[in-house]
Every structure is written in C-alpha cells, then in structure tokens.
Amino acid sequence: MRRLKKYLTIFKDVKIPWILLMIYLVLSMISSHMEVGAMTMTASIIDASQNAIRSDELIEYISVIAVSGILTIATGYLSGISLNTINRGVRVKLWNKIMRLPLSTNDLDNGAGLITRVTTDADASSQYVNMFFSLMTTAYGAVISLQQLFKFNIKMSNMFLLLVPWALLVGVFNCKFSYKAGAFYRKTVSELMAYLSERVRNFKLIKSTVSEKQEKDHGNDKVRRVYKAGLINIGVGQFEGVCEDLLSLANLIICFVYGATLVQSGELSIGRVIGFYSISGMMLIRITQFIMYFGELSKANGTMKRICEIMNTEDEKSEGDHFDYPDEDIVLKNVSFGYKPDKLILKDISCTIPKGKITAVIGPNGAGKTTMFKLLERIYTPDSGAIYYGERNIAEFALEGWRSAFSIVSQDNMVMSGTVRENICYGVTRNVTDEELIAVAKRAHCYDFIMETPGGFDAEMGMDGSNFSGGQRQCIAIARAMMRNPDYLLLDESTSNLDVKSEKIITEALSNLMKGKTTVMIAHNYSAAKMADYIIILKDGQIDAVGTPEQLKDHSYFQVFSKRGV
Amino acid sequence: MLGIRMDHYGDSDPSGLTSTITNDLDTAIERMVVVAVRIIPDIYYIFTALKTIGDYNFVLMISVFLILPIKILNTIFLGRWNYRTQAGVYRKIGSLTGYLSERIKHLSLIKTNANEARELASGEKVIDELYRANMDVVKYGVVSGAVSTVIGVLQNVVTVVFGVICLQRGIIDIKQWIAFFMYAGTLSGKFDSMINYWINFKTIQGGLARIARLVEAPQEQSDNPALLQEMPESRDIVFDHVSFSYGDKTALKDVSFTVKENSFTAIVGLCGSGKTTAIHLIERFYDADEGEVRIGGVDVEKISSRALRKGISLVHQGAGIFGGSLRQVFTYGLDRDVTDEEILAVAERTGALDYIRDLPQGLDTVVAAEGTSMSGGQRQRLVLTREMLRNTQILLLDEPTAALDAVACQKVKTAIQEAAKDKTVIMVTHDLYLLDIADQVIVLENGCLQKQGTPEELSGIIERYAEVCPCED
C-alpha cells in the first residue's frame, strides 16, 4: 500500500481524465452484463426451440450481441484515449523534470537511461493504471458470471466452485514461472545479441587476426545457451497450457456428465446446460486473467520505481545572488574532487586564473583538466576547498547568471539539428539582425562555407550537425559563442581532432573571439597554447607548475609539449 | 557469416546484419514452425466439420462459406491500415528518441545557454506527435472492432436463420441444430486462423530474403590448395599499377610504389585519397581491380588469406577491441603463449603500461565490450601493444596516434622507430610530427600517387595533405 502511495506521486499534476475513466468503468460493467445475458439467452432459445423458434427471441439475441459489440468498441476507445492522455501527461512531466535535474545526474547515466524514461517507461505508468482498471472489470465480470451460474443451478455451481482454486493456482504458476522462464530466455538472447553486435561491428579485427574459428566456437556456445533457455521457456508454457486444458476438460465433465444427471432428474434443461458451460468456461478464463493482471502489476514495479526515483531527485539549485560584478580573478583554493568518493581526480589544487588574460591548462591525458572545467561550469561542486570569484565563493551566485557569463567551445562542438541560424543564435534572446549575423559569421571564419551551402543560413545542420565537417561545425560553435558575447570563455581542446588546415582557421577565429575576454583553455598541442599569457600544468590531479611561457621554458613537460605542432 | 568476404560485409549495415541473425531468424522460424504444426490439424478439423454439417444438409454447409469472402477482404484492408498506423507509431517513437537523445547529449549546452523554456516547448510538441500517432492506433481499433462486430453479427444471423429454416422445414432436428450452431462458431475461428497463417507467411518473406542473401554471400576461400600457405621469405611490398573502386567510387587509380623490407613508409593524403584502401588491399580485405599487390615478389592473391593475415599485424583506425580481461585483449588472435612479463615489457615501450599500472587488478581487469570503459587514447595504446606482441614481419598502422597527447605520442614514435629496424612498417597518418623518422613518404590525392620521397624532399608540401579523416569503422 505504501508503495502505491509513492507511485501516486508520479501522477500528481498530470491531468487524469477522470470522467472518461468513470464512463469506461460503467460501460465495462454493462458490457459484462450483456455478455452474460447473451449466453443466458442462448440457453432459453435452445430450450424454447424444442417447441418452436420464437423469432422475437432471436432478434433480441442478435441485438444483444450487437449492443455488446458496440460496448466493447466504446470501452476500447475510452480506455485508449484515457491511457494515451495519461501517457502524454507523464511524459511531459518527465521531460520537464529532466530539464531541471543537475547536470551531474546526466553525466553518470550517460543519457541513455534518461531517454528510456521518457519514451518507454512513461508507457509503463499508463499500463499500470490500465491494469488496475482491468482488475476491477475482470473481477466484476467474474462475480456476475458466478451469480448467473447459481441462478441456473445451485448444485452444479457448487461442483464448479471446486475448480476455482485450481484456476487460481494455474494463474499463480503462470505468473511466477513463465515470467522467470521468459526473463531468462530474454537474457540469453540479449547476451547473444550483444556478442554478435560487438563482433559484427569489429569484423575487421576478426579477419585480420584470423580468429574465425575461435569466434565460431564462442558464438555457437552462446547460441546453445539460447536454445536451452528456449526449451525451458517452451516447456513451461506447454505445461501451463496442459493445466488449462485439464481445467476445461474438468469443466466439460462437470457440465455435461453431472449436468446430464440433473437433466434426467428434471432439475435442469438442456439449454441451461449449454448456457452454464459457456459461462463457466468464460469464468475460468477470467480467473486466470485476473491473476495475470496482478503479475503484470508487479512486473511494472521496477519501472515505476525508476520513474519515482527521477521524480524525487532534487532539482538543480538555481537560487543565489545575481551575478553582475566587474572582472575579477578566478581563484581555486585547495580544491579536491572525485566523481567517486574513493578516487580523487583533483587533489588539493590551488591556482589563480588571472582576469582579462588567456590561461592555458595543459597536462597528460587524465590529469584532471576537463574535471577542472566542470567545476568552473558548476556542473559539480568541489568535495573540499572552493572556487572564488575575487573574494566571493562562486557557489553563492545563481546558476543561471553564472553560466550565462561563460561561453564554452569544446571539442565535441555541440551543434544540434536545426538551421545554421538557429544554432548560431542559440540561447540568444535579443533580436539578431542579418547584418549582425553576417558580421559574426565572418569573424568566426564560417561565412564563406555557409554561403556555399544551399540555403545559406537557413540550411539544415542535420542530426548533431552531420551535414557539415568537423572543422565547419567548430566554426559555427565559435560563431555562437561570439553571438552571446560573454565575459568568460572556456575552450576545451577546441582545436583537437582537426587537421593542420582547419586548425589554423579555427585558431584565428578563436583569437578574434578571445579579444578582451578572460579565457581558460585546455590545449592539447602547442599551436593552440601559443597565444596563452599564462600556463598551468596539471599532472595526476595536482599542479605541476604555473607561469608564463617564458618562465616555464625549462620545464620538462613544457619542452616536449612545445616541440610539437607547427 | 564469419566466412563471408569483406566486400559483402562492407555493403551491408552491421546492425542490420546482427538483426538478421537474431530477430529475422527467430521470427521466421517461429512462424514457420507454428504454421507447419498447426495447419494440419486445423485443415483436418475444417474438413471433418464441414463433412458433418454437409451430412446434415448441403445447403447448411454452403452457408458457412458465405461470410468467408467478407472476412478475407476485411483482413486485407484493415491489415494494411493496421500496418500503417503501427508503422506510424514506431516512427514517432523513433523521432522522439532521436530528439531526446540529441537534447540530453547536449543538456549542458541548453543549460549554459539558459534555453530550457524553449526546449521544453519543442519537446512537448514532439511528445504531442507521439500522442496523436497512438490515438490513430486507437481509432483503428475502433473501426476494426466495429467491423468485427458487424461480421460477427452477420455470422450469427446467417447461421441462426439458415438453421431455423432447416429446422422448421424438418430437414434437421434440434440436436443437429445445436451441433451446427456450435460448429459454425468454431469453424469461423478456424477460418480466421487460416487467414492468419497466410499473413504470417507473407510477413516472414522479408526476413527470409535477408537470411538467404547472407547464406548465399560469397565466401572467402582459404583452403584452396593452389594458394601459398606460407608468407614469402622477403617482406618488401610492391604496389604495381593498382586500381580499385568501391562500386562506382574510385579509391585508387594506377598507384605504384615500393616499400623496402625493414623500412618505415608513411602514407599521407586528404580524406578520401585512398590511404586506408591501400592498407585494406595489403590485408586482402578487398582484391585490386587492376594491377597487383606483391609481397616478397608474390601476388597477394596467390597467398592464402589465412597465412597472409597471420603474417601481418594491423592497427586499424577504430582501435577496436573485444570485451574481456586485459590479458585477453592483449593476446587476442595470438597463436603462441606469452607470459605476463612479456606483455608488460611491450606495454612499457608503447606507453600502455602507465594505464595498467594504475589498475588494482592489473592484467585481470575486465574491459567493457568494445572498450567503452576506456578513453580513445588508452585503447589506441592497448591495440598498438597487442600488435607489437604479435611480432610479425609486417606492421600496418592506420592513424595510431589520433587520440594521444604530446608525451604519449613521443613514446609511440620511439616504439615505431625501434620496430622499423626489423619489420616492414607502413603507417597512414595525418600527424606531421611522426613523419621525420620515416624512410619514405607517399602522398596520395584522389586515389593517385601525387608525390613520393624522403621527408626532407617533401618538407614544404606535406602540410597541405595533412587532414584528419572521420573513422569509417
């Protein structure tokens, strides 16, 4: 029950079409009545036809079937609308929540999990509601059927009741074992798929190392496991089928054998025997269905829990002081940080990023440079120590204000689908004139290739900007940074993965961008770091050295570093 | 599929191939078996039931068929509509997923640009589209339900009317009427089943076609006795007027050059100039359309691909590895046993040791599938170590330093310089820093050999040809 209450929070603020759902319930109940009624009518038609067929009875029968059909359609439609509406509401709520989550959640999850939340998990929430209502309607249907059975004949109904616990048992068995068998089978299949897709994507490796035979054995092994799991799965399914058949058989015997004796003693008519058989058969199915719905509910538990987790994660803290102070140095004081508690990436670093200057942070892979940037962007907060802006801790400022003061150009030049214009003006709220757009594009060295592309500024970038080359995307990202014209620039290896030609162009565009601003850049080679006024060398999460290029010219790492590149 | 030729593999989309082996096969076989097993009893039932009814009365039996044409038409038209609406839903789910994954990937961009409100609005729009697609499915359900009801009612009317008429005329008695009534119900169900079998059969056609294509794909022939089963003694490599095209896209045009034994040759060129293709031709992933590639004077097409590839170490651009322990990664495809000390010694030379040293479980550390738990730079050094361990006479490298920083690059450069003393090394690279230790530089442009010479001879012009190309793997 407590769990249910927790799940209810998922639907808070989601518009639930209560009226539609109530109508759906009522109509379902009427539909159950009609179903049972139709079968009862068959009974009296058959009985009456001993003497004569009364055509008005037949007409009544056919109209009952017709109305029943209409009701089924109506309930289907109503439940469809209601569930889809709930579905949409939960999705929008999840999407809203994701927007407000701290960026650190996204980093750890790598995004893929969050996407499933909004696409398929949201579905599970409406399915949950659906199952609930299905439980109610099935139960109601079973009760009415039972009522009718007793109306037909009490003795036979009592016999029938003996079957009910067995039906329940079959339902429970189905829930437990076939679910487990199915899950195990799916697991072996997904292992096979993962194996295959890894191998197929790296076919070259198998061929160049002549490992075909090993892989053949490896693959066969995985296939055998799927086979065994499949056998178990089928076995369980068949066993369950046999149980259900046995139940039907038992029902048949009760109705026709025991029923025959009742007919002979005049306690029951033939028509009613047939009616009883139809209704009791349906009831057995309803009972197993009822248990299965319960099973579905518990299967959905996992998904519901995940959704709850996200809903209950704290939003990113957005309050704080307004950030509108004159240029100051950014100072890191004894900052330590690790993504995981036992592994520190940055160990007690203290350094100054001087205002108005270009500072380059260099060091080997994994030294902690990108991590330092993430702390500057306030995606994460330091485990100990703090970053100061002048005299004030940056954590005091409101996130939005702090972040708007920075522009980031990184190596994975984040451009998205949309037009070139939309990407360059991304996040800019003021009206941008065409002249301004062209001027910025020229300074970012992308005007020429944009004009050469059909559509110019209105050309589509493609998913992740795939319609343009790496160098061109980078220029557009720089144009965006220029358009926003922030006071601080963070450049994260913005010229890596580029060839010499493109790198020259980008570096020029960047120097245009950096004029008059405080810049912190992570540089991977010397041509990128050439313009720096101040260098910070990070190694193994600690400051190895700081100083101007002149001061560092005898430092070993710096020597190797500056020999590279043109 | 392991045996197919690389050119066929190149034509197909890898995830499509995986899906063919698993999903297509699964569904096809499942449906074929189900149909095969159930169709016979069902046909038997239909015949017996019809015969029994026919014994009662011929006309009665015919009446059962009256509804059949309507059922078939219904299945065809509604079936198509159902397929379209379902396909619509899948498409919308796909675009929602695509939209979301892009936004979530760039979430920090959205946040730093304070653009949340606008993204929320556009996200809602996409979610709305999915809602509408789902409602289309519901509407379809309504219509198909209505049609089924009507058919069901008609069915009942027909059976009842015919049955009553026959009863009143004394053609059949009440027992037969009841039996007929119940038969009609089950027969209707069986007809539905038969129609479904036919539909099942048609749906697996697509999957079966894909499977057939895979099974019939041309295989590589390794065991042909006419081929040389061992690598030739001397290991110089010669390209003799080699031309090759991928379909109608020319990759190499009349390219000729010689790589002397135990030397280091670098190949540079802009993207699409044919650098990686040259490497592929040496490995015989593809065969030259014209001209010959020779190793030690022997045409590579005359050497069995097994012997050829065993004698060449390839560090390819994607630096692919398979998941498993680090030890397994290093010894993948290795024929001989190596000790841990040997592995670590080679790792020291390539710089991979720095990474291994920090790991608490050392060589037993498990690496995720496709090496996603490591950075690109780490993977590159691991792959280089692996190929150096293989210690073959020929070493081919395709962009081995793309993700490495300055210091790591320096180490790799030294390692390659050492290796070139007793191996024939060919390296495709855009990194000008690595070229000064080369004995020979070959410049390709648009598939043609543009320039050839020592690094000094080409020092002014090489810059123009250095471009980073996207990894094709």
CATH number of B331's domain: 3.40.50.300
The radius of gyration of chain B from alpha carbons, rounded to an integer in Å, stands at 34
Q: What is the DSSP string of B187-231?
A: HHHHHHHHHHHHHHHHHHHHHHHHHHHHHTSPBP----TTSBSS-
Active-site option among A212, A328, A377, A493? A493
Which residue in the block uniquely carries the two structure tokens 């990128």?
Answer: A528
Question: In chain A, positions 537-566, which contact chain B (CB-CB < 8 Å)?
Answer: 557, 560-561, 564-566
Q: Count Cα neighbours of A67 within 13 Å in the Cβ-side half-sphere.
A: 17
- Are B160 and A560 inside 8 Å of each other by CB? no
**Contact (Cβ atoms closer than 8 angstroms) between residue B401 and residue B412:** yes
pLDDT at A108: 47
- Would A324 be classed as within a structural domain? no
Cα–Cα distance between B109 and A320 in angstroms, integer?
Answer: 21
> Where residue A387 falls among pLDDT bands split at 50, 70, 90?
very high
Q: What strand order describes the sheet that includes A518-522?
A: A406-410, A488-492, A518-522, A358-362, A534-539, A542-547
Question: In chain A, positions 295-314, which contact chain B (CB-CB < 8 Å)?
Answer: none
Instruction: Tell me if chain A has a CB within 8 Å of the CB of B119.
Output: yes
> Could you report the per-residue pLDDT of A69-104, keeping only the tens digit for each?
888 888 889 988 998 898 888 888 888 888 887 776
- Are A118 and B96 inside 8 Å of each other by CB? yes
CA B285 to chain centre: 17
Exposure string for A193-229, b = 16+ CB within 10 A, e = fewer: bebbbbbbbbbbbbbbbbbeeebeeebeebbebbeeb
For the four alpha carbons of A319, A321, A325 and A330, in that order, the dihedral sign comes to negative
- Would B204 be classed as within a structural domain? yes
Min Cα distance B409 → chain A (Å) is: 10
Secondary structure element (H or E) that encloses residue B442, with its range = strand B440-445
The residues with which A534 forms a beta bridge, in sequence order, are A359
Residues in chain A within 8 Å Cβ distance of B110: 99, 427
- Would B228 be classed as within a structural domain? no
Residues in chain A within 8 Å Cβ distance of B164: 53, 55, 58
The residues with which B315 forms a beta bridge, in sequence order, are B397
Query: Would you say residue A209 has pLDDT above 90?
Result: no
> Could you report the per-residue pLDDT of A214-273, keeping only the tens digit for each?
888 988 998 899 899 989 988 888 888 888 889 889 988 888 888 888 888 888 888 888
Of A227, A244, A267, which closes a domain? A267
Q: What strand order describes the sheet that includes B394-398?
A: B312-315, B394-398, B424-428, B264-269, B440-445, B448-453
Instruction: Tell me if chain A has a CB within 8 Å of the CB of B229.
Output: no
Question: In chain A, positions 125-154, which contact chain B (CB-CB < 8 Å)?
Answer: none
- Would B230 be classed as within a structural domain? no
Please, what's the largest Cα pairwise distance for chain A?
A: 117
Helix (H, G, I), strand (E, B) or coil at A384: strand
Instruction: Tell me if chain B has a CB within 8 Å of the CB of A80.
Output: yes
Q: How many CB pairs below 8 Å do chains A and B form together?
A: 266
**Contact (Cβ atoms closer than 8 angstroms) between residue B296 and residue B234:** yes
Give me the mean pLDDT over the A399-412 stretch: 79
| Candidate from B17, B101, B312 with C-beta closest to A111 | B101
Residue A391: Cβ within 10 Å count: 8
Shared-domain flag, residues B195 and B253: no
Instruction: Tell me if chain A has a CB within 8 Å of the CB of B378.
Output: yes
Instruction: Tell me if chain A has a CB within 8 Å of the CB of B349.
Output: no
Interface test with B, best of A71, A87, A99 (most B CBs within 10 A): A99
Helix (H, G, I), strand (E, B) or coil at B301: helix
Q: From residue A393, how far is each of A329, A333, A338, A388, A396 by CA, in Å? A: 12, 10, 20, 4, 6
Shared-domain flag, residues A107 and A159: no
Shared-domain flag, residues A235 and A355: no
The mean of the pLDDT values for chain A is 82
Cα–Cα distance between A555 and A544 in angstroms, integer?
Answer: 10
Residues in chain B within 8 Å Cβ distance of A192: 22
pLDDT at A297: 78
Helix (H, G, I), strand (E, B) or coil at A329: coil
| Candidate from A70, A201, A216 with C-beta closest to B149 | A70
Give me the mean pLDDT over the A550-557 stretch: 82
The two three-digit tokens of residue B259, written as one number: 């790589």
| Candidate from B97, B153, B407 with C-beta closest to A62 | B153
| Candidate from A95, A201, A364 with C-beta closest to B123 | A95
Domain boundaries, position A246? 154-267
A443: Cβ contacts below 8 Å, ≥ 6 apart: A479, A482, A509, A512, A513
Instruction: Tell me if chain A has a CB within 8 Å of the CB of B373.
Output: no
| Candidate from B22, B316, B377 with C-beta closest to A204 | B316
pLDDT at B470: 56
Min Cα distance A442 → chain B (Å) is: 22
Shared-domain flag, residues B241 and B196: no
What CATH number did the domain enclosing A373 receive? Answer: 3.40.50.300
Instruction: Tell me if chain A has a CB within 8 Å of the CB of B121.
Output: no
pLDDT at B258: 92
Low-confidence ranges of chain B (pLDDT < 50): 472-473
Query: Would you say residue A352 has pLDDT above 70?
Result: yes
**Contact (Cβ atoms closer than 8 angstroms) between residue B396 and residue B300:** no
Which range (A195-199, A543-547, B106-110, B297-301) has the least confidence? B106-110
The two three-digit tokens of residue B12, written as one number: 């197909």
Cα–Cα distance between A449 and A501 in angstroms, integer?
Answer: 15
Shared-domain flag, residues A181 and A204: yes
- Would A321 be classed as within a structural domain? no
Shared-domain flag, residues B160 and B291: no
Q: How is residue B290 annotated by DSSP?
A: E
Cα–Cα distance between A211 and B403 in angstroms, integer?
Answer: 27
- Are A77 and B142 inside 8 Å of each other by CB? yes
Exposure string for A508-536, b = 16+ CB within 10 A, e = fewer: ebbeebbeebbbbbbbbbbbbbbbbebbb
Instruction: Tell me if chain B has a CB within 8 Å of the CB of A103.
Output: yes
Instruction: Tell me if chain B has a CB within 8 Å of the CB of A50.
Output: yes
Shared-domain flag, residues B61 and B137: yes
Amino acid (1-letter code) at residue B91: R
Structural domain count of chain B:
2
Quick check: is A493 catalytic? yes
Long-range pairs for A294-302 at CB < 8 Å and ≥24 separation? A294/A135, A294/A175, A295/A171, A295/A174, A295/A175, A295/A179, A296/A127, A296/A131, A297/A128, A297/A131, A297/A132, A297/A135, A298/A175, A299/A179, A300/A124, A300/A127, A300/A128, A300/A131, A301/A3
Question: In chain B, positions 184-203, which contact chain A (CB-CB < 8 Å)?
Answer: none
Instruction: Tell me if chain A has a CB within 8 Å of the CB of B312.
Output: yes
Share of chain A above pLDDT 90, in %: 5
Shared-domain flag, residues B255 and B286: yes
Interface test with B, best of A209, A430, A540, A562 (most B CBs within 10 A): A209
Question: In chain A, positions 347-406, which contact chain B (CB-CB < 8 Å)?
Answer: 364-366, 377, 379, 399-400, 403-404, 406
Looking only at the bridges linking them, the beta strands covering B324-325 and B366-367 are antiparallel
- Would B317 be classed as within a structural domain? yes
Helix (H, G, I), strand (E, B) or coil at A319: coil
Domain boundaries, position B383? 237-465
Residue B325 sits at φ, ψ, to 5 deg, of -75, 160
Looking only at the bridges linking them, the beta strands covering A392-393 and A384-389 are antiparallel
| Candidate from A69, A111, A196 with C-beta closest to B21 | A196
Shared-domain flag, residues A303 and A384: no
Cα–Cα distance between A405 and A235 in angstroms, integer?
Answer: 64
Query: Would you say residue A565 has pLDDT above 70?
Result: no
- Would A414 be classed as within a structural domain? yes
A409: Cβ contacts below 8 Å, ≥ 6 apart: A474, A477, A478, A481, A489, A490, A491, A492, A494, A510, A513
Give the closest residue to A94 by CA, choosing from A303, A323, A386: A303
pLDDT at A566: 35
Shared-domain flag, residues B249 and B211: no
Residue of B nearest to A403 (CA): B112
Shared-domain flag, residues B41 and B103: yes
Min Cα distance A62 → chain B (Å) is: 7
Cα–Cα distance between B361 and B461 in angstroms, integer?
Answer: 48
- Would A25 be classed as within a structural domain? yes
pLDDT at B467: 61
- Are A365 and B375 inside 8 Å of each other by CB? yes
Give the closest residue to B466 by CA, choosing from B316, B265, B277, B267: B267
Amino acid (1-letter code) at residue B14: P
pLDDT at B472: 46
Q: Is B83 exposed, middle or buried (0-12, 13-18, 19+ CB in 10 A)?
A: exposed
The two three-digit tokens of residue B290, written as one number: 């014209």
- Are B369 and A501 inside 8 Å of each other by CB? no
Which range (A132-141, A327-336, A398-407) has the least confidence? A398-407
Cα–Cα distance between A526 and B214 in angstroms, integer?
Answer: 50
A544: Cβ contacts below 8 Å, ≥ 6 apart: A363, A537, A538, A555, A557
- Would A292 be classed as within a structural domain? no
- Are A200 and B17 inside 8 Å of each other by CB? yes
Residue of B nearest to A112 (CA): B101
- Would B221 be classed as within a structural domain? no
Q: How far is the first Cα of chain B from the last one, in angstroms, to the nearest whole number?
A: 18
> Where residue A350 falls among pLDDT bands split at 50, 70, 90?
very high
pLDDT at A461: 83
Residues in chain A within 8 Å Cβ distance of B473: 201-202, 204
Shared-domain flag, residues A2 and A114: yes
Shared-domain flag, residues B401 and B453: yes
Cα–Cα distance between A120 and A143 in angstroms, integer?
Answer: 35
> Could you report the per-residue pLDDT of A274-319, keeping only the tens digit for each?
888 888 888 888 888 888 888 777 777 777 887 888 888 877 777 7
| Candidate from A484, A501, A524 with C-beta closest to B405 | A524
Shared-domain flag, residues A56 and A113: yes
Residue A154: Cβ within 10 Å count: 11
Shared-domain flag, residues B150 and B24: yes
Question: In chain B, positions 30-89, which contact chain A (CB-CB < 8 Å)?
Answer: none
Shared-domain flag, residues A487 and A359: yes
Shared-domain flag, residues A448 and A541: yes
Instruction: Tell me if chain A has a CB within 8 Å of the CB of B432.
Output: yes
Instruction: Tell me if chain B has a CB within 8 Å of the CB of A498.
Output: yes
Shared-domain flag, residues B167 and B304: no
> Where residue A455 falls among pLDDT bands split at 50, 70, 90?
confident
Residues in chain B within 8 Å Cβ distance of A111: 101, 104-105, 107
Shared-domain flag, residues A149 and A201: no
| Candidate from A200, A500, A564 with C-beta closest to B18 | A200
Secondary structure element (H or E) that encloses residue B317, with its range = none
Exposure string for A71-107, b = 16+ CB within 10 A, e = fewer: bbbbbbbbbbbbbbbbbbbbbbbbbebbbebbbebbe
Shared-domain flag, residues A163 and A309: no
Enumerate the H helices of B220-352 as residue ranges: 275-282, 305-310, 326-330, 340-350
Shared-domain flag, residues A34 and A69: yes
Give me the mean pLDDT over the A20-25 stretch: 90
Among left, alpha and beta (phi > 0; psi -120 to 50; other), residue A237 is: alpha
Query: Would you say residue A364 has pLDDT above 60?
Result: yes
pLDDT at A228: 92
The residues with which A490 forms a beta bridge, in sequence order, are A408, A520
Shared-domain flag, residues A357 and A471: yes
Q: Count Cα neighbours of A403 within 13 Å in the Cβ-side half-sphere.
A: 24
Structural domain count of chain A:
3
- Are A414 and B101 inside 8 Å of each other by CB? no
Instruction: Tell me if chain A has a CB within 8 Å of the CB of B127.
Output: yes
For the four alpha carbons of A192, A197, A199 and A200, in that order, the dihedral sign comes to positive
Cα–Cα distance between B9 and B14 in angstroms, integer?
Answer: 8
